Structures are given as structure tokens and as C-alpha cells.
Amino acid sequence: MPPSKAVQALHILLSRPKGRLLGGFRSRLLLGLSSVVVLTALLVGVLGFLQFQSTLSQEAWQDLISATNIVEQALLITPEQVLLNPDRLPRLAELGNSRFRVIRTEQVFLEIGGRYPTQSTGWIKTERPLEYGFVLQAALETHSQSEALRTFWQTELLALPISLLLALVVAYLLFGYLMHPVRHLTEATHAIAQQRFPKPIPVPPGQDELSDLAESFNRMTQAVEGFLERERNFSRYASHELRTPLATLRAQIEALEQGLLTPQESLPAIKRSLERLEHLLAALLALTRIPHKNPEPVEVGAVLHAVVQNLLLKEQQRITLKGNLGAQVLGYEELLQQALSNLVNNALKFSQGQVEVEVRQGAVIQIHIRDRGPGVPEKDIPRLGTPFLRVQPKVDGMGLGLALVRHIASVMGGELEFSNRPGGGLEAILSLPSLEVSHA
């Protein structure tokens, strides 16, 4: 996607009100956490209630069976009647809320613990056959179990709003934690939508999605800024420099149309203007493009020899190569050759004597190009490499060569510096990361 369209897409994405964007996310986060808490509390409450109910029911049946065994052992049974042996039932309190009776053919012979209940609600009942046709009936009141279940359910219902409130507080704090980097991201994207490039946003601690998002956004910001800067450079440089050859072409064509010049007189000027346009567009494209392949090891000496071989024989004789020519950098051979070619040609153009090229290897690779020309005024040295800057207008050129070298140095992670030599002449120093440092 072109950089201008990418910025437009960001602008459309962020055209909604900021409060609505964050407010909607906040609402969804709170609603989601609240729903999870409510559903979890209800599920835990229902499961806990069922488990508690089953436990109470089992305990109640165990109590009833145990009390029934105690009463059965305390009975004295004869064919005519059933009596209770007090010695075998020392404490009636052990029977709790149990009721017992002994019957035979609907006739009640004995009741223990109080009147035996006739209703089924609130009681659990069991029967056990005895000798001579007697039947022992037992009942246990479940009112205490019902109260325990009711208390349990009330506690669960009371815990539900407390859990919900706690969830809302946690969601609010979590929202603030999550939104802190997102707010930085939102502000930065708003700035990019207005073609203002902020400083890199802080990367949250931890190797998670938020830190990955912040790092990706910072890389995207640098890429978009580079695209836009190259687009601005191309537009600015092209509009600035294309006027002269285009004006010359227009003047020659108008002279031909009006019969002021013959084709033989106009064609050389038109040809020169077209050649200038071709060279200018090639330089502009090189200045604004970036390489699309991965950097590779490049031997500086081999590139320098290729640059020298492309020169005229008399110019080759003026070049002296020395130093560590086997030094290697990690970069792009075509770009490095273009940069060194511009620097060498520039030295040859502004000097009539020898041009010395020395390669020094240290923490970085330094390529020194020294000429014996008049040098440059000290006030103009910091401006060298500015597009269309021509310190000596009488010398033919477009003022883009050093700008292209500076751009290539930046692409390859290096820098370009200039200084006047004490004995006369200008020294250009192209510094590039060495292959060993790049691998470290």
C-alpha cells in the first residue's frame, strides 16, 4: 500500500470519537467480565447447593437408620405386645428429632419420641419388620436441613453482588493497565494520520501481545515516515530540478513551431535536455528508493576496482588505492559502487591532481577519498550532501551526487563526513559498519 493511502487508512480508522472507541471497549470489557463472574457464581452456587443438599440428605438418612437400630435393640417383643426396655435406651435425647411407633394391622402398640407424624412434608420415613408381624416405623424431621439449605442459598445470593462488585473493580484496574499502552498507540496513530511522526511509543514490559504490538507499531512508524520522506524528497527535488530542462525543451519546440530555428539547430539542444532529464530522473529515483533484497557481504576493494575500471584511462592513472582493500561490509554492492563512484568522480572533477582512496578497518570501515583541489569553504562543509547544493556553480553538475551518497550511507547504517585537508584539497570519509560488527 502506498504511504499516502496507508495514512488515509489510519485516518479513517481513527476518525471515530476517541471516547466512543475507548468507552465501547471499556463497556465490552466490563460486561464480559461481569457476565463471566455472574455465570461462574451461579454455576458454583448451583453445584454447591446440590452437593450440600446431597450431603445433608445422606447424613439425615444415616441418623435415621442409626436411631432406628438403637430403638429396635431396646424393644421387648411378645406375641401379644411390644414394650420398651429403658435400660437399653438410656438417653432419648440421642434420638434427636426422630419419631417411632410399632404397629400391627393398623393398630398402634407403642410410640417413642412423641406423636408419629402422618404427613410426609418435612419428614423422611422408613419401616422395618419385626417379629410376630409387628412393624417398626421411623420418621426424622428435616426442618433443620431445610434451614441449612436456605441459609446456604442466601449466602450464595449475598456473595453474588460482592463477587460482581469485585469483578468490576478488577475490570476497571485491568482496563487501566491495558489501556495505558493503547492510549499511547491511539495518540501516536492520530499524530501519524496528521502526518506528524511522534517519538517511538514505550514498549510495555514482558514478551506479550501488547509489547509485540508496540514494537510492530514503532517499526511501522519508521517505515511510513521513510516512505513519506522519500515521497516528499522526490516531489521536491523533481519539481525543483525538472523546470530547467523542461523549459529548454519548450523553448526549442516553440522556436521550431514559429520557424525561428531549423531542426538541425534545435535537435542538439533537445537531445542534451533529454539526456539531462534521463540522468536527473535516474538520480532522483536512486535517491528516493530503498533496496528490496537482504544485505550481503561486500568486499570494499573489489567494488573500488570496479569503479576504477569504469573510468577513462587517463582518469584511472590519477587514482591510487591503498589500505585494507580486503575489508568487508554487510550491505548492497550496487549501492556501494554507486556511492564510491560518485565520490571518486566528484574528487576527479574538482581536482586536477592525484586522488587517493584509502580503506581503514576498525570498529567501522572507513573509506577516505582525498583530492588536491581547492577545497570547500568551512561554512559550506556542514551543508555538503544537501540536494541541489552546488558550491562551485561553474562546474557542471546537478548537486545530487553527494546527496545520493549520504542517502546510501544512511541506508547501509553508516555516515558521510567531509573535511578540508591541511595541504589543500577535500577529504570525504564514508564510514560503514564492518561485517564482523554487523554479525556481533
**Whole-number average pLDDT of the chain:** 77
Taking residues 33-50, report their average pLDDT.
80
Q: Cell numbers of 323, please? A: 589500505
Q: What is the pLDDT of residue 23?
A: 53
Instruction: Look at 351 and 101; give whichever has higher pLDDT.
Output: 101
Residue ranges of domains in the chain, CATH in brackets: 294-439 (3.30.565.10)
Q: Cell numbers of 200, please? A: 517511538
With beta carbons less than 8 A apart as the criterion, state whether 394 and 329 touch.
Answer: no
Residue percentage of the chain with pLDDT more than 90: 12
Query: Is the pLDDT confidence value at 280 over 70?
Result: no
pLDDT in tens, 380-435: 777 776 665 555 545 454 556 777 788 888 888 889 898 888 877 888 899 998 87
Q: What is the pLDDT of residue 239?
A: 62
Q: How far is residue 115's CA from residue 97's CA, in Å, rounded to a whole number?
A: 11
Q: Cell numbers of 264, please? A: 538541425
Q: What is the pLDDT of residue 287?
A: 55
pLDDT in tens, 354-387: 899 999 988 899 999 998 888 777 787 777 766 6
pTM, full prediction: 0.44
pLDDT in tens, 233-279: 666 656 655 666 677 778 888 888 888 878 887 788 788 778 767 76
Strands 319-323 and 355-361: parallel
Q: How far is residue 355's CA from residue 320's CA, in Å, rounded to a whole number?
A: 6
Query: Is the pLDDT confidence value at 122 over 80?
Result: yes
With beta carbons less than 8 A apart as the criterion, state whether 142 and 122 touch.
Answer: yes
